[in-house]
Amino acid sequence: MYLVVLILVAVVLFGVASVLFGRGEQLPPLPRGTTATMLPASGVTGADVEAVKFAQVLRGYKTSEVDWVLDRLGAELDQLRGELAAVRAAAGLPDPTAGFRYATRAGAGSDPDGQ
């Protein structure tokens, strides 16, 4: 009997607290199938990438959001590299990345620690 009364009191207190204080959300929940993950339409900066937040699901991050961000960043990099190649070609400068498709951490020479 003690346990039943304790559960009943807990339910009543929870109900009163919910009515008085609300759910605690400042914004309404997002519609189903949408995301709060954002990137600017163009001109993605390092700060934009650092500010990206992904929705967490049962086994990690929501795959569709991660894929979308990676696709956007890849397109942005391709566009910038294309513009850089056009500027170098117009200036008559050689392309230092010609012939290199992939770089590894040890082979790229970009790691200051040499690891």
Higher-scoring residue by pLDDT: 37, 28 = 37
Q: How many angstroms separate the CA atoms of 77 and 83, rounded?
A: 10
Q: How many angstroms separate the CA atoms of 37 and 66, rounded?
A: 9
Confidence of residue 42 (pLDDT cuts 50, 70, 90): confident
What are the DSSP calls for 30-43, one per residue? PPTT-------SS-
* Other Cβ atoms closer than 10 A to 69: 19
pLDDT in tens, 46-60: 788 878 777 777 777
pLDDT in tens, 66-81: 888 888 888 888 888 8
Q: How many angstroms separate the CA atoms of 96 and 115, rounded?
A: 22
Q: How many angstroms separate the CA atoms of 30 and 10, rounded?
A: 30
Say what percent of the chain tops pLDDT 70: 71
For the segment 17-23, the average pLDDT, to the nearest whole number, is 75
Which two tokens mark 78? 């391709």
Domain ranges of the chain: 56-94
